[in-house]
Amino acid sequence: MPDDLKTTRDFFDAVADLPAEQRSAYLDQHCRDADRRAQVERLLAADSAAAQLGFLQLPPAPDAELSDRLASAGAVLARDPLLGQRIGRYHVKSLLGVGGMARVYEAVQEQPHRVVALKVMNHRVASRSALRRFQYESQVLARLRHPNIAHVYEAGVASTAGGDLPWFAMEYLPGARPVTQFAAEKQLDLRHRLELFIKVCDAVHHGHQKGVIHRDLKPANLLVDASGEPKVIDFGVARGVDSDIAVTTQQTHLGELVGTMQYMSPEQCDGDPHGIDTRSDVYSLGIVLYELLTARPPYNVADSTIYKAARVIRDVLPVPPSTVAGVAPRLARRLRGDLDTIVLKAIEKDRERRYASAAALADDLRRTMTGEPIAARRPTAWSRVVRWIYRRPAATMLTVSTFASAMIVFGGVLLDLYWSSRPYRFEISPEGHELRVVLGNGASYPVARDCNDTFLFAEILEPRSASAPKRPLLVGVMAAEPGAFRRGLNIVDADGDVSRPLRVLTVDANLLPDVLRKRETELGQSFAPSTFGAEHLLVADTFSEFPGDEIVVAFRHVFYTQTMIAIFDRDWQQRFAVWADMDLDALAWLPDARQLVILGSNGQYFLHERDLEHVASFNHPQVVFAIEPGLGVQLSEYVRQEPSERPGAHECLRPKWYWMLPACAAAAKYELRPSRASDGASQVEVVLTYEGASPSFAYGVYWTLVDGTPQGEPRFSETYNLIKQGEVRAWGDTPVPSKSEFALTKDLPPLSPGTGPRPPGSPSPP
């Protein structure tokens, strides 16, 4: 731009922003050149007149004469002389649209038979540059072969009474709509909008590779046909980048604005043809993408003057799409980040900072759809990790699982070290009946079940044997070996050093079942004695041959359900042992029947494997059964928990009775409570309790097993009274449920007929 023209423009920029009453004084003070001042005043007058009219709007008719002329023009349009005529090999059917240089008709070609869009030069366009531009469009389109660019079939010149009319026939797109309108009508989601737009970018890039700059990319020229495919049309203002074509056939005058202002790049607004390249089309694509994502353009210049619209396009920075008012919060979150960056890079004011090509813009859109780092900015280490996770969910799950497993193992090692080195000690309570752990800070707690995962129980026995401590302290250890204590039953002198056991009882390695030995060999699983902890303890007079009580201990594997039930005399000699594949919950002794009652979940089978029609669960069935221990019996076999396995089994492996309990909620559990019946007979109550119940006895007894006969056959009775309360009481604000409400699941039948007695009212076995 010449220096004198730039100076005039600078004066105009400064004065246009001032109120009208201050402009004259400003020019008096700063613009002493009369000719320049006259130019500025003319520009101001033109700007004011344009502002009153509105940009790209027709001025109102000043008189009736203009109205008559407009009506006459409409009548001429209605009786278009080309309608019904033949242009080349095409029969003109109807008028589709009128542009500044040409009219577009619907026409029919006979050989081959097809409907085409026929573009014909207007008679009144006398400009030689406009004629060259029209002729050039057909040449340009004929060079383009892309599925998303409207095809040009043929071009020529028709002789009419008004002179020669250049024309060309191109692909007809019935029912086609602008891409933004199509997306809104179909309510396309974000992914489908981006996929549609990427095809447009690919088509424009194809034109750029053929040496064509479109220069008028806008929704009206980016149509979507009835099949949902986008088509780029109207290269009527395209400008070839080939030097010969640029000079000889497509010379745009300095300052001439061609295209639609809303979608024009800043360099197009400057009107410099030498400053326009493929990045101008990238800018227009960015504006369309902005509108496609937010339903509104980044600038609203529809009601502005040409000058003010150009200033907005050159100087005003757009807001990120994610912050546009009216965008849904969910969509805003998806736009925030990569898509904001991509759109703003495409519509950069400085073309050097834009995408170098439409293909680069499309590539970044593809990357953000697949979760890869975009080229528009350098990805951070964290963003690379997030995108790697997004692209490889299976590998991520495997990595996380491996890491979690490693952390669990590592945590176990740390826990071992912690227990072996933590500053704690043991002491007997002042009453002399309880073992307590005293921490380094002075806090203490009793060693009892559910207190921690290491010490499961601690019980002090009365003196019994000279070879044993006067008051044996039995401590069951299940978790990692903490200091001097080891997994198993630790025997401590309650009146001596309670921090160091005298001996540790555990499973006899010689009694390991063959199936476990096989698993050690084939699967590498360890079933060494050190992997079993003492989980349950029962002191009872199980063998009449010995005076006083024996010690019943349940040793369970630290990882699996394999459990050995062993009985020791008070000299700590093992007198009985059997195995049970179950998670054992409780032990009880029926002295009159000489039966050991065992409660827990059967580890051999799942509920659904029992063929019970009303059970659809993968939980292990909760069972209660009784065995009669035999002195000197030590077996490396499992108690038979399946009727079909009973024939031929050792007597101690065959339960005296066996019952499957009704399934209960996760927050509930069964307990065994030895007591005496009203007639003095020993009995065991099977109690269903709920966690957090108050009082602690929860809802009540489910049934009671009484050994009232010499054979010890239990009989069943049902009661729904709260145990030891004598009356039905409420728990908090919730009343104790009635019988029908209490039995939330159906009573499960026994495993097979005759395997055990049924509670009154329970269903018959299948």
What integer is the mean pLDDT of 91-113?
86
Find tokens 């090509």 and name the residue. 357
| Of the candidates 550, 475, 555, 478, the residue with the CA atom closest to the CA atom of residue 509 | 555
Distances (CA, A) of 664 to 444, 673, 683, 689, 702: 35, 18, 23, 10, 12
Selected residue with higher pLDDT from 700 and 428: 428
Is the pLDDT confidence value at 644 over 50?
yes
The reported pLDDT for the residue numbered 756 is: 35
- pLDDT tens digits along 499-556: 888 899 999 999 999 989 998 888 888 899 999 999 999 999 999 888 889 999 999 9
What integer is the mean pLDDT of 63-88?
62
Dihedrals phi, psi of 660, to nearest 5 degrees: -95, 130
Active site residue 216: yes
Residue tagged active-site, from 202, 216, 270, 581: 216
142-151, 198-207, 319-328, 453-462: the lowest-pLDDT one:
453-462
Q: Could you give the percent of the chain with pLDDT greater than 90?
A: 25
Average pLDDT, the chain: 75
Q: How many Cα atoms are found within 13 Å in the side-chain-facing hemisphere of 450? A: 2
Is the pLDDT confidence value at 365 over 80?
yes
What integer is the mean pLDDT of 576-589?
92
Distance CA 531, CA 487 (A): 7
What integer is the mean pLDDT of 551-569?
93
β-strand 668-676 against 177-178: which pairing, if any?
unpaired
Using an 8 Å Cβ cutoff, are 341 and 354 in contact? no
Q: How confident is the model at residue 45 (pLDDT cuts 50, 70, 90)?
A: confident
**Which among 80-89, 252-261, 687-696 has the top mean pLDDT?**
80-89
What integer is the mean pLDDT of 103-113?
90
Grouping H, G, I as helix, E, B as strand and the rest as coil, residue 532 is strand
Helices and strands in the chain: count of H runs, count of E runs: 18, 30
State whether the Cα torsion 691-694-695-701 is positive or negative.
negative
The reported pLDDT for the residue numbered 752 is: 31
- pLDDT tens digits along 12-38: 777 776 777 778 888 888 787 888 888
- pLDDT tens digits along 460-481: 888 765 555 578 888 888 876 5
152-166, 253-267, 435-449, 544-558: the lowest-pLDDT one:
253-267
65-69, 506-510, 709-713: the lowest-pLDDT one:
709-713
The answer to pTM > 0.75 is no
Find tokens 């502002």 and name the residue. 51
Strands of 470-616 (E only): list them: 472-477, 488-493, 503-505, 532-540, 550-557, 562-568, 574-590, 595-602
Distance CA 255, CA 277 (A): 16
Dihedrals phi, psi of 32, to nearest 5 degrees: -90, -15
Grouping H, G, I as helix, E, B as strand and the rest as coil, residue 404 is helix
Rounded (5°) CA angle 457-459-463: 160
As to burial, measured by CB atoms within 10 angstroms (0-12 exposed, 13-18 middle, 19+ buried), residue 669 is: middle
Q: Could you give the percent of the chain with pLDDT greater than 70?
A: 68
The reported pLDDT for the residue numbered 158 is: 82
Q: What does the longest C-alpha to C-alpha distance in the chain come to?
A: 137
Using an 8 Å Cβ cutoff, are 684 and 675 in contact? yes
The two tokens of residue 99 are 């542009």
The reported pLDDT for the residue numbered 552 is: 97
Dihedrals phi, psi of 49, to nearest 5 degrees: -65, -40
Neighbours of 76 (CB within 10 A): 10
Grouping H, G, I as helix, E, B as strand and the rest as coil, residue 166 is strand
The reported pLDDT for the residue numbered 695 is: 41
- Cross-strand partners of 598: 587, 625
The reported pLDDT for the residue numbered 462 is: 81
The reported pLDDT for the residue numbered 292 is: 95
The reported pLDDT for the residue numbered 441 is: 59
Is the pLDDT confidence value at 577 over 90?
yes
